[in-house]
Amino acid sequence: MLFLQQNKNNKFMKEYIEVLKKVSLFNRIKDNELSAILSCLSAREFSYKKDDYIWDIDDKITEVGIVLSGSVNIIKEDYWGNRSIISKAESGKVFGEAFSCSETGKLPVSVVACENTKILFVNYKKIITVCSSSCKFHSYLIDNMVKILANNNLKLLRKMEHLVKRNTREKILSFLSEQAEQAKNDSFEIPFDRQELADYLCVDRSAMSNELSKLKDEKILEFHKNKFTLLSDKK
């Protein structure tokens, strides 16, 4: 655990400056201001191993997480341990913002490391509250946080579009079509392995694998591991 302070974070900034520059929370903020921001936000860094729980269901949180390296899955597990993936956050992405600003602050989900991962936590209230030093960048942080909340809501709506499809085949095609649109290319990589994709689309893995094989045989798409190419808009 590392509590970042302005006079002690030179090594940290050197290691992660390129990641921090990509974080949407810090849009419009100059590189030379990032160090002061992290100190103002009481930023702290934690390391996790694969499958470690970063947050568990019903945890009360007051911070926002930023993935410095690795990736995390936001998941929901039922009584029997069946898992659904709500979303995934990779390097440079923010997570937990909607829960840290809720009235209860309690998590209805869990957050799990997909691999060895480093997370930077920043205090949510300090993001949205102008500090005693009247730091000029707080207005940017507030605006950026609102945009993050809005964009993540849109992502959840797009996911719902996949889940309401009638069968596994339609869910797969809906998801892959969205991925191609985001990549602006017929060839792209998805952020999930097979089990994660099944958990994300809420389908049986075997049934999904069978449908993928059928789609490949029908020359609608090609794939190797998490790399896909769409060959036709045929449904």
- The DSSP-derived string for the chain is -EE--TTT-HHHHHHHHHHHHH-GGGTT--GGGHHHHHHHTT-EEEEE-TT-EEE-TT-B--EEEEEEESEEEEEEE-TT--EEEEEEEETT-EESHHHHTSSS-B-SSEEEESSSEEEEEEEHHHHHS--TT--TTHHHHHHHHHHHHHHHHHHHHHHHHHHTSSSHHHHHHHHHHHHHHHHTSSEEE-S--HHHHHHHHT--HHHHHHHHHHHHHTTSEEEETTEEEE-----
* Per-residue confidence (pLDDT) for residue 132, from 0 to 100: 66
**Measured distance CA(13)–CA(137) in Å, rounded:** 18
For the domain with range 165-230, which CATH number is right: 1.10.10.10, 3.50.50.60, 3.30.1360.120, 3.40.630.40?
A: 1.10.10.10
* Per-residue confidence (pLDDT) for residue 139, from 0 to 100: 85
Residue 164 pLDDT exceeds 90: yes
> Sorting pLDDT into bands at 50, 70 and 90, what band is 9?
low
**Over the range 169-187, which residues count as b (16 or more CB within 10 Å of their CB) and which as e?**
bebbbbbbeebbeeeeeee
pTM: 0.88
* Per-residue confidence (pLDDT) for residue 235, from 0 to 100: 45
CATH fold, domain 2-152, is Jelly Rolls (2.60.120)
* Per-residue confidence (pLDDT) for residue 1, from 0 to 100: 45
Q: Where are the domains of the chain?
A: 2-152, 165-230
* Per-residue confidence (pLDDT) for residue 165, from 0 to 100: 97
* Per-residue confidence (pLDDT) for residue 183, from 0 to 100: 96
pLDDT in tens, 182-219: 999 999 999 999 999 999 999 999 999 999 999 999 99
**Measured distance CA(1)–CA(45) in Å, rounded:** 6
Cα-Cα-Cα-Cα dihedral of 95, 72, 62, 159, to 10°? 40
- Please give the mean pLDDT across all residues of the chain: 91
Higher pLDDT, 20 or 103: 20
pLDDT in tens, 37-74: 898 899 999 999 999 999 999 999 999 999 999 999 99
* Per-residue confidence (pLDDT) for residue 211, from 0 to 100: 97
